[in-house]
Amino acid sequence: MPRYVHVPTEATPHLIRQAYEAGGPYQWAREAWKNSEESGASIIHFGIEEQAAERQGVLRRTIMDNGTGMRPEDLKVFLTTFGGGGKPIGVDGNFGQGFKSSVLPWNPYGVVVISYTAEAPDGAMLWIYRDGDGNYALREWSAEDENGEFVSLTDVVQPFIDDEHGCDWSRIRPPWMTTGTIMVLLGSGPDSDTWMGDQEPSRKETVDDLIRYLNSRLIEVPKRDGTPIETTVVDLYAKRSSDRRDTRDKTVALPDGRAMVWRPRRVYGLRHYIPDAAVTGTVTVDEHGTEVDWFYVPEPEDPVGGTSDYIVQRPNVVVDYQGEAYHADRSKSRYRLFGITDEIMGRTWLIVRPPIYSDSRPTQWGVITQASRHMLFGKGGLELPWEEWGDAFFDNFPEELAKAREAARARDTTQTDPSMAKNLARILDRLNPRFKASRVLSSSLGKVLGNPTGSFAGSPGSRGPRPAGGTGRPGGTGGTSGPRHVLVPATAGSMQGSPSRVRGGYPAFIWKRFDPDECRHLGQYVPNDVHTIDQTVYRGVVYLNSAHPVFVQEFNHWADQIWPKADPTKVQELVQRVYGEEAVAHVVHAQRLNGTLVGKTENDEPIRIGEEDVRQLLEPAALSAALLGLVNVEQRILTQGGGLFGRRADS
């Protein structure tokens, strides 16, 4: 018989701790909820054990459901096997470690599990704890005969009266449970309060955040027999004389005389909080069938239904994996990848639905969850293709979102130089002959093989081909007929191409005051943005921070020291225009480096600048550094200002 791989007992605590750290706050609640949902429950209740509260003032979190329950032998497997819990294990299924790894590290005194089944209607109870050596074990009790004589030790017992811990374990079972499972979290000792969750310093969980977590984690609460699973979380607060919810809430008197109110709060799931007034659609963003559901909530409707007690009051971008939200992100950078600009991001929800990788379809691309169920990655261990998804969404940008964006911009007071197109064309026309980067463009007659970079050659505003499958429509006009892909030469390339030199489209520049989360930077390049200025369509925008001290000092220097008699507004417009043109030139120059041959390896293989290299050159920190100490900019301001404002005052 072959020797099989197993995990030594002494290694298990380290694996559990590692999975716990990877899981993040409130992961235990997700794992408990998922176990209950998979057991067929129609009720899942995160409660507080009342007996110990009344007798000892100890507030213990309970999790209970009315599912099928676990037989005594299944309970043992569930609690003592790391990597098994009675359900099938696979990359697209259960890993058999979630609940244990997320709850045991912060409950070393123990977790009590009581389960009721048709075979064990009086219940079977186990207690798992961490022993003095750091290993996890089942607590044992003495089994006695009818005469009270010791027979043996057992780790599975019927629920019993436990004066030491202030409760009768059999009385925790609620009236609505015939079969099902109860878990009681005991924390670090017999007097530990666990109702708030994990109190490790790096987490400090609260009930409000637990409710927000569950509502944000579950896309939609699944239905059982046509009705959503009733999921409730009991909150606890001191009773006030003005409270009028006695018929709905339960009041429990603690030993110290305090009256505490048990208030159940319902969990509905993220989709419930997207207002019905939202305009919505779907865009397909890759050849694998990944779809992005978008929701835009028009004014005056609040962008999030419900209060801050139940869900965070800002829309976000999430990935839907088996009905759960992963990678929730409310940042501007995430929205900008999809072309959702700052003006409308606060009213826009995005739900990305990629295919799920499965062992049954090993050759097909899909996403896989990490064992801790905290993050996703693509087949092969690759990061999620956010930029590719965002570019495809932007290339098929929904018309409704484009209209909302333009309407928001029409209310914006930001002023832009109407001669921008002419000035930028002049600057870039002068730049192109000097810049000798080699380019390979797609051509049916080309003799060079290469792979597309995602960029296209053409005139300002060129958009490139649109992927099929989106229900939205393009959000801007402009472009050229039949744009050509910019290729990176490769012997096994997917497209034919030929060397060429053409000028690509260029972005606009816009000055504005940056928000606090971005105010450290002088500039921010947003490639997936469309602006129409003076009847010219620009793809991409370089935003420049008008409130940054570097620029403020520049404005003041030229207005106060060089041309103090001139209109300071006109002087500032000149400074902003020259710096804006320089920033655009930097972006275009960096973009045209994509695919450029810069050297060869020891094996004579070509080394080329790629998309990631260009992206790094255009990150806010790099762009900000590129805008510092520009002597040529100072000279251009001086030359152009002399014609506008006359002789400088300090000459």
Residue entry with tokens 């979102």: 401
- Residues 370 and 39: their CA atoms lie apart, in Å, by 22
The pLDDT score that the predictor gives to residue 648 is 86
- Residues 140 and 643: their CA atoms lie apart, in Å, by 93
In 417-477, alpha helices (H): 420-434
Q: Please provide the size of the chain in residues.
A: 651
3-state secondary structure 509-576: EEEECCCCCCCCCCEEEEEEEEEEECCEEEEEEEEEECCCHHHHHHHHHHHHHHCCCCCHHHHHHHHH
- Residues 562 and 564: their CA atoms lie apart, in Å, by 6
Strands 536-545 and 508-512: parallel
- Residues 364 and 374: their CA atoms lie apart, in Å, by 23
DSSP-derived secondary structure letter, 28: H
Spans in the chain with pLDDT lower than 50: 88-90, 92, 94-96, 434-438, 458-481, 501-504
Find the angle CA(480)-CA(462)-CA(579) to the nearest 5 degrees: 135
- Residues 632 and 638: their CA atoms lie apart, in Å, by 10
At 188, is the secondary structure helix, strand, or coil?
Answer: coil
Residue 350: closest CA among 278, 413, 261, 431: 278
In 272-412, alpha helices (H): 332-337, 342-345, 386-395, 399-410
Q: Which CATH class is domain 9-235?
A: alpha beta
At 608, is the secondary structure helix, strand, or coil?
Answer: strand
- Residues 355 and 357: their CA atoms lie apart, in Å, by 6
The pLDDT score that the predictor gives to residue 563 is 93
Cβ proximity of 564 and 619 under 8 Å:
no
Chain centroid offset of residue 457 CA: 33
The pLDDT score that the predictor gives to residue 163 is 95
Cβ proximity of 213 and 231 under 8 Å:
no
- Residues 424 and 585: their CA atoms lie apart, in Å, by 8
**DSSP characters for 291-327?**
EEEEEE--TTS-SS-S-TTTS-SS--EEEEETTEEEE
Q: Classify residue 512 by burial, with Cβ atoms within 10 Å: 0-12, 13-18, 19+.
A: middle
Q: Where are the domains of the chain?
A: 9-235, 271-410, 420-645
The pLDDT score that the predictor gives to residue 501 is 46
- Residues 367 and 357: their CA atoms lie apart, in Å, by 5
- Residues 199 and 103: their CA atoms lie apart, in Å, by 12
Chain centroid offset of residue 134 CA: 34
The pLDDT score that the predictor gives to residue 502 is 45
Please count the CA atoms within 13 angstroms of the CA of 597 that sit on its side-chain side: 12
Residue entry with tokens 């014609």: 643
The pLDDT score that the predictor gives to residue 463 is 38
Q: Which two tokens stand for residue 437?
A: 């980067």
At 470, is the secondary structure helix, strand, or coil?
Answer: coil
pLDDT tens profile 327-366: 999 999 999 999 999 999 999 999 999 999 988 888 899 9
Cβ proximity of 141 and 75 under 8 Å:
no
- Residues 98 and 94: their CA atoms lie apart, in Å, by 8
Please count the CA atoms within 13 angstroms of the CA of 494 that sit on its side-chain side: 5
